[in-house]
Homo-oligomer: A and B are copies of this chain.
């Protein structure tokens, strides 16, 4: 029994490391992550997607090598490489089924990188990986059921159910950004109209801010200039300009409806918001929290769902990818 206790104690303190890779369209970011979710060493390289999938796999392998060298480690010191990739991933085989972003189809990314590095590789969709990272090490800690929404250029979704990543059949689910909330509304890149993404992304904020400017030559938003509008712009002007305030209010309304849908569908203990738009958490969180608690199904009688902001910012991708290997 004392032997068992000793082993348990050893296990509890034993450090484990994984390399987490955040595969983006422009750059590949990577980090050595420990089993507490800390990034110890990190580096990045250009993706060079125009050179094709195999070249990108080589760039990933090169980046892994750089990171291990920085950490003075060998391949035997890490439990594995995790890759968060855009697109639809068959996470069982580590194949990128398709991604518009990189223009790949059925590319066996895990096998390629594993062959180049001699290290085991797991691949997951980037939004799913980020959700797993927040669940294990970040804002989702302590909850069993967590949904993460990444509010960036698009809206990514990641779902953890009962402590496990939920990806749908052949890992093709959890496309929460492509849930229609406004039938017949704004055209989405996916072909549908009125997707959550077309209202709750930074792209939506930019589109609506520009629309507001073009329809109102008097708005103070013109100080910024049409070409300089970014997702932050309407928030910067909301206290001094009615048009800007309207853009923000419309954004909050759509975000709220999307989150309420997610609560009614998944009833997670936590909804975690990530992505650049979350910089505006002081403006966004109070009305969203109020609406979720009052208007989700069952209202205040239903089990509470907290809406929180992600812990990890730029490193969410690396930490989430590494979390595919770490507990």
Contacts of A172 in B (CB 8 A): 267, 297-298, 302-303
Most buried by B among A105, A176, A254, A265: A265
Residue A22 is within 8 A (CB to CB) of chain B in the complex: no
Which one of B192, B266, B299 contacts A168 once the chains associate, using CB atoms below 8 Å? B266
Selected interface stretch from A6-14, A37-45, A256-264 = A256-264
Contact A265 to B175, CB < 8 A, known contacts A181-B183, A192-B260:
yes
Most buried by B among A105, A297, A302: A297
Contact call B175/A264, Cβ cutoff below 8 A: yes
Count this chain's copies in the assembly.
2
Contacts of A302 in B (CB 8 A): 88, 172
Q: With CB as the reference atom, state the residue of chain B lying closest to A269.
A: B169
Contacts of A313 in B (CB 8 A): none
Contacts of A301 in B (CB 8 A): 97-98, 105
Contacts of A184 in B (CB 8 A): 182
Contact A190 to B297, CB < 8 A, known contacts A170-B303, A181-B183, A303-B170:
yes
Report A269-327 residues with CB < 8 Å from chain B CB.
Answer: 269, 295, 297-299, 301-303, 305
Residue A217 is within 8 A (CB to CB) of chain B in the complex: no
Contacts of A182 in B (CB 8 A): 182-184
Contacts of A185 in B (CB 8 A): 183
Contact call A295/B265, Cβ cutoff below 8 A: no
Contact call B169/A254, Cβ cutoff below 8 A: no
Residue A179 is within 8 A (CB to CB) of chain B in the complex: yes
A253 and B194 alpha carbons, distance in the complex (Å): 14
Contacts of A183 in B (CB 8 A): 181-182, 185, 194, 253-254, 257
Contact call B266/A173, Cβ cutoff below 8 A: yes
Contact A264 to B178, CB < 8 A, known contacts A183-B257, A192-B295, A299-B191:
yes
Residue A145 is within 8 A (CB to CB) of chain B in the complex: yes
Residue A144 is within 8 A (CB to CB) of chain B in the complex: yes
Q: With CB as the reference atom, state the residue of chain B lying closest to A183.
A: B182
Residues of A within 8 A of B (CB): 88, 97-98, 105, 144-145, 157, 161, 166-170, 172-176, 178-185, 190-192, 194, 253-254, 257, 260-261, 264-269, 295, 297-299, 301-303, 305
Given contacts A172-B302, A176-B264, 12 further A-B contacts (CB under 8 A): A88-B302, A97-B301, A105-B301, A168-B267, A170-B303, A172-B298, A174-B265, A181-B183, A182-B182, A182-B183, A183-B185, A183-B254
3 pairs of A and B residues whose beta carbons are closest in the complex? A168-B267, A173-B267, A170-B303
